[in-house]
Structure formats: structure tokens, C-alpha cells
Amino acid sequence: MITLKHAELFRCDLRARMPFRYGIATMTWVPHVILRVTFEIDGTTHTGLAADNLPPKWFTKDPTRLLEDEVEEMLGVIRAAVSQARAIRGATAFAFWQALYEAQAAWAGAEKLPPLLSNFGTSFVERALIDAVCRARGATLASALRENLFGVDLGALQPDLAGSTPRDWLPKKPATELFARHTVGLSDPLRAAEITPEDRVDDGLPQSLDACIRFYGLKHFKIKINGEAARDQDRLGRMAEILTEGCGDEFAFSLDGNESFRDVASFEGYFRDLLATPALRHLWPRLLYVEQPWHRSVALSPAIGELVRTWPDRPPIIIDESDAELASLPTALALGYAGTSHKNCKGVFKSVVNACILAQLRCDGQATVLSGEDLANVGPIGLLQDLAAQAALGVTSVERNGHHYFAGLSEFPAGLQAHALAHHGDLFTPHGGGWPRLAIQAGKVAIGSALRAPFGYEGEPDLTGMTPVAAEG
């Protein structure tokens, strides 16, 4: 039996080394929080951690809201999930999570909060629980999934998977290195010569796209578009030149539509115009997929299915922000989408089920996509847990942007910086400024230490220097 005994929440605010523009938001700083939860598991106590940024304008994308109000709302859903979890007794981690998911959904419905936001709180408790169970059982995340130590009941959420377990669908061994799919934000400089003296960052890390390719040996990219045809065509054309110069033919990329299209039909014309642009023809054989071009208000509407039926040569298109509930992926697949994304903030067990759904379809000959995406994921806990989950789910190209928009772990307390270097020398390397930075070589990150840990991170991180905040409302 599993019960929650104690919870603590810690915060530090991170300053971006350069602005990150995505959709309607531009991130210049972000709160980062770590949740530490002690569970009683079959009579003994074990502690687990979960960590994440509180990203502005992603969960709700309301241009009228103040950032401070959104931060308090995100803290509120975490505190609500902790409070809900106190009343739960679960025979397995999966059963505990199911009960928490339902309780949090009922609370969020009464509060009129969207599922994507409310489940952010659920995922914090879920991740800490997964960590605690792995430590209690002496298992890694990948081995715990394959041995079903969490008690995952696939058939309870997807009847077509009844009678199977995660080991039937997930990789036998997770990849020990992943492509770091580099984000090119809407306002990121493409060439070093474009950066004005007042905008230049002097911290020893690359800033422009061409410099990043040289510094990290990048091969995979995620390119943000905003639906303004002339602007996007011009910017993509300049990127095509830079990618060819830096990578030759050895690159791949995804396009992130950032929910830019509210009119369903308009995206087809927009994309056909991109395909017909001569300067971009070199790009399209290397396109992996298009991520969430439609606004969430229409992305799962019948109009998508109607468009898909008349657009057989469309690129693979996946949902991201619209993957808010357990039924989101099956709904999207029925409409003609190719798959969805994984972010730990959307929930690990939900993605386990999603990965199994997509693997079953691949066995039936259908092309599907489970991508790995990023919300400027950083830190010695959150980043490592995300990488461990991505690999366990079979994702091998993962959007990484936290290392680009934030100066490594420089904004974290010294104890956490030292812990990362001591335990994860494959993932972090000392920077000239004295702080750890993500080690990307030949466009990849080596994640062996994260895979050997219970859930991403080894040892007992020192949270001294983080600011304690209320863990329950």
C-alpha cells in the first residue's frame, strides 16, 4: 500500500541568458520548483523528487494574464495535487496515480481550470512517486517499467492493449545517447553577424544558430514558425542555407506551429506555399513532423478530420498542447494525426500508455510519431528525469533548449551544481565560468548516468539555497 506522508516545495528563479520567444510569450526569467515527497510504501518510507519550470503562457496561452498570476496558478495546481494525494491509498503506483488523476480532474472542473494546467500538478506528485518507488525497489525507470513494478494496467485506459504490459511495447533497452534537437526560437539570431553589441551574450556559450552548430556539432533542429507566410518563408530560407553550410545533408528538423492557426483549412495552403518555395526545397526531405499548428480550440475538432481526408500528402502532424487528457491521443489518431509528444510535465504514465498505443499501431503497419519536446527544461533533477523518461519510451531525438536559453546550472545553488558534476559527468561538463553546462557532442547527449539512476538523478541532492515555499494550499 502507498500513502503520502510529507511534502516540501522549493523554488528558485532563473534568469535567461537571452530571450526565448515562443508563440505569444517571450521568456526572460522563469521560476523553477522542486517538490520533495515522502511516501510510505509497503510499510517503509521512501522519498522522491520532481522538478520543473513554471513556464509562462504555455498552459493557458492567455495574452491578458499577468505572469505573476500565472505563476501563482501553477503553484496552486501543484499544491492542490499534494492535498488530493494525502487522502489516497494506492495498492500500486499506477493505482495511486489513477486516483490522483481523477481527484485532481474533479477539483479542476469545479475550479474551471483546463486539464493541461491541472494535470501539471498531478504530474509533479506522479514523478516524485515514480522516483520513490524506483528507490524502494532498487530499480531504474526503464527496468521498473519492463518489470511492471508500478502495476501499469494498460487495458484500463486503452481496451485494445488489454492483456499486455509495457514490456510488450517499450524498448528492450533504452538508447544511451539521444539527439539534442536544437530549438530555433522566433526571435533567435541566425548568424553571429546579426547580433548587435547590446544584445550579445558574453558567457562563453554560442548564441546564434550558426555558432551553435559549430559549438555542439548539432544535427537535429526544432524550428518555430508563427504562421506569417512571408516572414516564415524568409526566415526558413536563411536557416536552410545555414543548416546546409554547417551540416551538409546530415540534418533533420521538426516544425513547431505554436498553435498559430485558428482557421483549420488555412494551414494546408500555408504549408503548400512553403513546399513550393524554391529556397526551401532542400529542407523537406529532412522534415520529421509538424508539431501542433492548430490552436487547441480547434485542434481536436471534426474539421481536422475533414481536412485530413482531402489532404493525403500532408506531412506527419502531431499534437502537443492538445494532449491534455487520457483520451487526447486516441481522439487525435482518429482525426488523422500521426502521434503526440512527451513532456514529463504532461505526465509519465499517460505517455507510457501513449507510447504503447503508438507501438501497437506501428506493428500493424501504421506510421506513428512519439516525439520528445521541451519547455526550456533545465536543472540537475528535471532535465535528467525527462531524459530518462524519453529514452525509456523509445524517443531518440529530444528537443533541448534549456541549455541554450539558460547558462547551464549557473542559476542553481552551489550544492546542486556540485552534485550534478559529481554524479553525472557524462551529461554535464564544467564551463569556463565555473558552473556545469550540458555536454552535447556531435549533436548528442550521453545519458548513461541518468539511465543507471533510479529516476534520472543519482544520490541525495543538496537543496540548501533553494527557497522553501508552501507545498499545500
For residue range 279-307, what is the model confidence (pLDDT) as tens digits?
A: 999 999 999 999 999 999 999 999 999 99
Buried b (16+ CB within 10 A) or exposed e, 143-179: bbbbeebbbbbbeebbeebeeebbeebbbeebbebbb
Residue 197: how many CB atoms within 10 A of its CB? Answer: 5
Residue 278: how many CB atoms within 10 A of its CB? Answer: 7
Q: Does the pLDDT value for residue 135 go beyond 90?
A: yes
pLDDT at 57: 81
Q: Which of 26, 37, 28, 32 is nearest to 52 (CA)?
A: 32
Residues in Cβ contact with 360 at an 8 Å cutoff, skipping those fewer than 6 apart? 160, 161, 169
Q: Does the pLDDT value for residue 25 go beyond 90?
A: no
Q: Which helix (H) or strand (E) holds 246?
A: helix 229-247
pLDDT at 4: 98
The CA distances from residue 199 to 202, 205, 206, 242, in Å, are 10, 14, 13, 21
**Given the C-alpha cell 513532423, which residue does it identify?**
289
> pLDDT category, 27, cuts 50, 70, 90?
confident
Query: Looking at the DSSP assignment, which residues form a beta bridge with residue 222?
Result: 183, 254
pLDDT in tens, 147-173: 999 999 999 999 999 999 999 999 999
Residue 296: how many CB atoms within 10 A of its CB? Answer: 19
pLDDT at 64: 78
Decide which of 3.30.360.10, 3.10.20.600, 3.40.640.10, 3.30.390.10 is the CATH code for 2-166: 3.30.390.10
The average confidence (pLDDT) of the chain is 96
pLDDT in tens, 360-393: 999 999 999 999 998 889 999 999 999 999 999 9
Mean pLDDT, residues 239-264 taken together: 96
Looking at the chain, the domain(s) classified CATH 3.20.20.120 span 169-459
287: helix, coil or strand?
Answer: strand
- By DSSP bridging, strand 428-430 and strand 436-438 are antiparallel
Mean pLDDT, residues 129-144 taken together: 98
pLDDT at 375: 81
Mean pLDDT, residues 397-409 taken together: 95
**Given the C-alpha cell 521498473, which residue does it identify?**
144
Looking at the chain, the domain(s) classified CATH 3.30.390.10 span 2-166
Say what percent of the chain tops pLDDT 90.
Answer: 92
Give the single-character DSSP code of 380.
Answer: T
Q: Are 233 and 31 in contact (CB under 8 A)?
A: no
SS (H, E, C) 394-436: CCCEEEECHHHHCCCCCCCCHHHHHHHHHHCCCCEEECCCCCE
Q: Does the pLDDT value for residue 123 go beyond 90?
A: yes
CATH fold for domain 169-459: TIM Barrel (3.20.20)
Residues in Cβ contact with 225 at an 8 Å cutoff, skipping those fewer than 6 apart? 186, 232, 236, 255, 256, 257, 258, 260
pLDDT in tens, 212-238: 999 999 999 999 999 999 999 999 999
Q: How far apart are CA 358 and CA 361, in angstroms?
A: 5
